[in-house]
Structure 1
Amino acid sequence: QYENFILDWDWKLSYGGNSGMLYHVVEDPYFKVPYVTGPEYQLIDEAGWEETNAPTKLEPWQRLGVDYAMHLPDAAKMRLNPQGEWNNSRIVYDNGHVEHWLNGEKILEFDAYTDEWFALKNSGKWADAPEYGLARRGVICLQDHGYPASFRNVKIKELPRKAGRTVELFNGRDLTGWEKYGTELWYVDDAGNLVSESGPDKKYGYLATREYYDDFDLTVEFKQVANGNSGLFFRSFVEPPVKVHGWQCEVAPRNHDTAGIYESYGRGWLQTIPDEKESILKEGEWNTLRLRVEGDRVQTWLNGEPMVDFHDAKIGAAQGRIALQIHDGGGIKVLWRNFRLETL
């Protein structure tokens, strides 16, 4: 798996050939095809494809060098060798900054995870692929699209991760940066608190960050106003319409392991808290929850007291979103404030 890198390769297509180079592809049984997670540098013999498939024409977002179905290259900088000859391409992914190159010319450049990027992702081909492009590491994937394609001199140079970034997850005004799943209620009250509340359907509900956060140290305050059965998911992904795969730092009424770690749709409880620490939770008052995830190590604190500290290989191999939960059954209302996340 590769995270930040410069990837170079030579390629040659058959007449009318269609292929591609994908990166940050997530291998999980849930994802049936690579392109629903991994962005693609499109490789295609445009003239040959359109002649072979006439009268169908390629859309601009399907043409050579595009960030497939997202960003278009600068046509003036395209320097393509004749069909059947070798060309060279490059992808640079540097902590969210992306470049596409063709035969020594930079043809495309953009920053992922900006408001513009999310608007493109959510309005086009990927509107029904909620995890598209979110992973910041994954496997490299060559595409077979039914046409012969040749590759050689595939080389990658890894670049360092930029850590130590402070992230404002919640601005105290609206839900910018979050995505809702389900019919339960999420809103900001007059005091600037993020409110999670059961709706009339009394089902599960989730409010997930639109970005992935893998290694981080997060502190947040919560108050259980009514039946505080909630939770803070991490390294998780969403299966529409309302299902989350991953791990939950529990937030629940007393004697139900607040700050313990639970795996959804899998092994269940991984770490509960000691019985003598149940009284640390202040029901009906503000509590401070801290969650630190680094590699395969997970640590939690509640109101300054350490609660769990363990290693887990499955968590260590995962990546994903942070998400708040409303449990099913109705009658739940929890307030959240003062989110502070530091990347590691």
Structure 2
Amino acid sequence: MRAPRRHRLHARLLLGAPLLTALAAGLAFGCAQAPESSPEAGAAETAPNTLTEAEREAGWRLLFDGETTAGWRGYNLETFPDTGWAVIDGALVVGATATDPDVAIGGDIVTTESFADFDLKFEFMLSEVANSGVLYRVIEEEGAAIWYNAPEYQVLDDPAYIEMGTMDMHTHLTGDNYDLHASGEKMLRGPGEWNEGRIRIQDNLVEHWLNGTKTVEYELGSPEWEALVAASKFAPYPRYGRAESGPIGLQDHGRNVWYRNIRIRPLEPVSLFNSENLDGWRVHGTERWYVEEGEQGGEIVCESGPDAEYGYLVTEATYRDFDLTVEFKQEADGNSGVFLRSSVEGTTVSGWQAEVAPPGLFTGGIYESYGRGWLVQPDPELDAALRMGDWNTMRIRADGDRVETWLNGTKMVDLEDEQIGEAEGSIALQIHDGGGIKVRWRNLRITDLGR
């Protein structure tokens, strides 16, 4: 089956060619002192290596305290390297004690803790001709280099390596998924200036960001990813990118790189339904919503009532950027849906619906009620993913102005829309009017993606 095309409605322009900054001139770097960098050059607005109250409440944690190497150790080691790395002026510095800047003497380092799905932010400052990387879900294997098994966010003095002209730098520049995916439009600040990198991974969907711009996106284990790996330098390493969890790694490739403000927010799903009652939800309309015991525990049942009108079950909490999975079973008719970023007054809904419908009626498509109608419908051949009368799993990912849906593992639609991107609201389950409808719901789990 064909993969869905990405549909854009009044979407921003995404450019494909890298935007590189000029190589900074006249900067000299010592091994034990970081170059000066002004706040205008990208320094943090708050004190380095601290969290705001809002960040703490959102679940962010520091991986580096700015003073010690606590929480880090050498790759394949139990302790932190006694040479090469050092903490200098609130930064964790690669090659800090090296006498030859092109010789990596400290080796790679990793966190003492492992992470599965997460949002990782870090600031880095390059020296001239710097080369490093941030790796994730690291697998430690005796005799194997760290990159044999772990995907890498490339950190590099791009202009210097492009100027050398000794190799094809496609997929080898800052923000790239090293050797597999090349960055799109970006802005890299040169040596002596701070940059912010970001890696977000949730349910094997990975994003790299640089200074607020997404540079690449890929899905671990997807057919595209498998084909790229098979044609890359990673082909001989069967464990590459296969770990479900692992440490975060920083690479020592020679030359100084300063890291600070390394912070992480684990992305862990929470349940929207307690399996016992409808606490946390509001019923709109006269249609029937109730909880019934099922094979795996409690299930929400929506069933047409005597009025046979529209009805909604709406979360009391609101959500903006999230990844939601729900299971549903259409016992009769099955015309329903999951609304995102919505609000409901009486039985009038404002928002966007991921369609749940009988066969042939575009389950997984995105519909705007009382507005523009269908924004995108799945290709008809994708409807084969629907299992009428049996349990189905729908996944809805809303991130900024982009909405994606999957049905039983099949990607149904991929939409970008500015109006959706401006909204925030509740999750709502719908029962359609007309009568004769009965749908069961269970395992409603949401992951807050933050901003």
Measured against the shorter chain, the TM-score band is 0.5 to 0.7
Q: For 1:161 and 1:317, how far apart are their aligned partners in 2?
A: 26
Q: Which letter does structure 2 place at the counterpart of 1:259?
A: G
Determine which structure has the larger strand proportion and give its number.
1
Please tell me whether the aligned partners of residues 95 and 162 of structure 1 are also in contact (alpha carbons under 8 angstroms). no
Aligned position for 1:212: 318
Structure 2 residue 330 is matched with structure 1 residue 224: yes
Q: For 1:161 and 1:209, how far apart are their aligned partners in 2?
A: 28
Q: What does 1:221-260 align with in structure 2 at a 5 Å threshold? A: 221-239=327-345, 241-260=346-365
1:280-314 Cα deviation digits (max 9, x unpaired) = 11100000100000000100000100000121000
Q: Which letter does structure 2 place at the counterpart of 1:202?
A: A
The match for 2:378 among 273, 280, 285 is 273
Q: For 1:301 and 1:276, how far apart are their aligned partners in 2?
A: 14
Aligned position for 1:282: 387
Change (3 A) 1:95 1:186: farther
Moved more, 189-198 or 294-303: 189-198
1:115-145 Cα deviation digits (max 9, x unpaired) = xxxxxxxxxxxxxxxxxxxxxxxxxxxxxxx
Aligned position for 2:405: 300
Helix, strand or coil at the partner of 1:325: strand
Helix, strand or coil at the partner of 1:224: strand
Aligned position for 2:271: 168
Please tell me whether the aligned partners of residues 337 and 355 of structure 2 are also in contact (alpha carbons under 8 angstroms). yes
Helix, strand or coil at the partner of 2:293: coil
1:156-197 Cα deviation digits (max 9, x unpaired) = xxxx99773532100111101100000100001122111011
Q: What does 1:17-166 align with in structure 2 at a 5 Å threshold? A: 94=54, 164-166=267-269
RMSD: 2.0
Change (3 A) 1:313 1:163: farther
Q: Which letter does structure 2 place at the counterpart of 1:184?
A: E
Aligned position for 1:199: 305
Aligned position for 1:180: 283
1:209 shift after superposition? 0.4
Change (3 A) 1:309 1:199: same
TM-score by length of 2: 0.41
Q: For 2:316 and 2:269, how far apart are their aligned partners in 1?
A: 16
Q: For 2:365 and 2:269, how far apart are their aligned partners in 1?
A: 25
Please tell me whether the aligned partners of residues 288 and 303 of structure 2 are also in contact (alpha carbons under 8 angstroms). yes
Q: How many residues align?
A: 190
Please tell me whether the aligned partners of residues 355 and 365 of structure 2 are also in contact (alpha carbons under 8 angstroms). yes
Q: Which letter does structure 1 place at the counterpart of 2:412?
A: M
Helix, strand or coil at the partner of 2:442: strand
Change (3 A) 1:95 1:227: farther
Aligned position for 2:444: 339
Helix, strand or coil at the partner of 1:211: coil
Please tell me whether the aligned partners of residues 354 and 367 of structure 2 are also in contact (alpha carbons under 8 angstroms). yes
Q: Which letter does structure 1 place at the counterpart of 2:284?
A: Y
Q: For 1:245 and 1:169, how far apart are their aligned partners in 2?
A: 21
Aligned position for 1:321: 426
The match for 1:311 among 395, 413, 416 is 416
Please tell me whether the aligned partners of residues 322 and 446 of structure 2 are also in contact (alpha carbons under 8 angstroms). yes
1:73-130 Cα deviation digits (max 9, x unpaired) = xxxxxxxxxxxxxxxxxxx994897xxxxxxxxxxxxxxxxxxxxxxxxxxxxxxxxx
1:326 shift after superposition? 0.5
Aligned position for 1:263: 368
Q: For 2:349 and 2:387, how far apart are their aligned partners in 1?
A: 28
Please tell me whether the aligned partners of residues 339 and 428 of structure 2 are also in contact (alpha carbons under 8 angstroms). yes
Q: Which letter does structure 1 place at the counterpart of 2:389?
A: G
Change (3 A) 1:320 1:95: farther
Helix, strand or coil at the partner of 2:375: strand
Change (3 A) 1:209 1:282: same
Q: For 1:342 and 1:185, how far apart are their aligned partners in 2?
A: 28
Please tell me whether the aligned partners of residues 163 and 343 of structure 1 are also in contact (alpha carbons under 8 angstroms). no
Considering only CA atoms, is the larger Rg found in Structure 1 or Structure 2? 2
Q: For 1:244 and 1:163, how far apart are their aligned partners in 2?
A: 33
Change (3 A) 1:202 1:217: same
1:227 shift after superposition? 0.5
Q: Which letter does structure 1 place at the counterpart of 2:279?
A: T
Please tell me whether the aligned partners of residues 231 and 325 of structure 1 are also in contact (alpha carbons under 8 angstroms). yes
Helix, strand or coil at the partner of 2:440: strand
Helix, strand or coil at the partner of 1:233: strand
Structure 2, unmatched stretches of 5+, are 1-51, 58-262
Q: Which letter does structure 1 place at the counterpart of 2:443?
A: N
1:258 shift after superposition? 0.2
